[in-house]
A and B are shown apart, each in its own frame.
Chain A
Amino acid sequence: EPEVTQTPSHQVTQMGQEVILRCVPISNHLYFYWYRQILGQKVEFLVSFYNNEISEKSEIFDDQFSVERPDGSNFTLKIRSTKLEDSAMYFCASGTSGTNEQFFGPGTRLTVL
């Protein structure tokens, strides 16, 4: 069964450093998303991406964040200058047309020190 994959599973970084989180969505999916979940809190939407552009972003997704689909398979989330409060689990999700069912990857646990 096809699934969303994410790398790395855990990333530890120093405050102010740049990180890139990588995702490979399900191959025939058209809609791509990043969500995050701070420990003990709910899953929050960050950004959606369709047809090679951002379709929606939340207020969390400020100028420090960017997304890219550099080739036909990868979907990346970059945080330019990490803050302590960026520590969270980051989930990539993808979905196809005709339904809003979204399938999540296993997540990247980001720890900012």
Chain B
Amino acid sequence: RKEVEQDPGPFNVPEGATVAFNCTYSNSASQSFFWYRQDCRKEPKLLMSVYSSGNEDGRFTAQLNRASQYISLLIRDSKLSDSATYLCAASLMEYGNKLVFGAGTILRVKS
């Protein structure tokens, strides 16, 4: 079983739509979780950390469900500029530890 799994998509949505991605992780000892955004042939850019209580940053909301071992990302009011690949990542420690990435979910926002 893959350590971090994501639905590869692509998710094709119209501008203004709400879209949600899920990501599951296999190691129950994982401590920290992140969403990254990656544009074509560019580096992963940190979008947000994911906290147990859930967190929101503008149009983006991240949730963690430890019991079911998944994290989610909700994007509201999608913009054309949100088109990218969204990577989830998990780590066994709270700092100083490798990130294990999923393969990414492709989002295409169309006008």
Q: Which of A44, A48, A103, A109 contacts B97 (CB 8 A)?
A: A48
Does the CB pair B97–A104 fall under 8 Å? Answer: no
Would you call A25 an interface residue if the criterion is a C-beta within 8 Å of the partner chain's C-beta atoms? no
Q: A95 CA to B32 CA in the complex, in Å?
A: 13
Q: Given A42-B101, A42-B102, A43-B101, is A91 in contact with B43 using a C-beta cutoff of 8 Å?
A: yes
Q: Which of B21-29, B59-67, B68-76, B86-94 contacts A (4 or more CB under 8 A)?
A: B86-94
A42-B101, A43-B101, A48-B97 given as contacts; is B44 within 8 A of A104 (CB)? yes
B-contacting residues, A93-109, CB 8 Å = 95-107, 109
Q: Is B100 an interface residue when CB atoms closer than 8 A count as contact?
A: yes
Q: Which of B94, B103, B104 contacts A99 (CB 8 A)?
A: B94
A96 and chain B: residue at smallest CB distance = B95
**CB atoms of B34 and A101 under 8 A apart:** yes
A75 proximal to B (CB < 8 A): no
- Interchain CB contact (< 8 A) of A56 among B44, B45, B97: B97
Assembled-state Cα–Cα distance A104/B99 (Å): 12
In the assembled complex, the Cα of A17 lies from the Cα of B41 at a distance in Å of 25
Distance, CA A44 to CA B93, complexed state (A): 17
B43/A105 in contact, CB under 8 A: yes
B104 and A42 contacting across the interface, CB-CB below 8 Å: yes
B41 to chain A, nearest CB (A): 7
Whether A42 contacts B103 in the complex (CB less than 8 A), given A105-B43, A106-B43, comes out as yes
Per-position binary interface string of chain B over residues 42-85, scored 1 when its CB falls under 8 Å from any chain A CB and 0 otherwise: 11111001000000000000000000000000000000000000
- Nearest-neighbour CB distance to chain A for B64, whole angstroms, equals 14
In angstroms, Cα B42 to Cα A109, docked, is 10
Known contacts A91-B44, A102-B46: does B103 contact A31 (CB below 8 Å)? no
Chain A positions near chain B (C-beta within 8 angstroms): 30-31, 33, 35, 41-45, 48, 50, 55-56, 58, 89, 91, 95-107, 109
Please name the 5 residue pairs, one residue from A and one from B, whose CB atoms are nearest each other, closest first. A104-B43, A45-B98, A43-B101, A42-B103, A100-B32
- Can you list 6 A-B pairs, Cβ within 8 angstroms, ordered by A? A44-B101, A97-B96, A98-B94, A100-B91, A100-B97, A105-B43
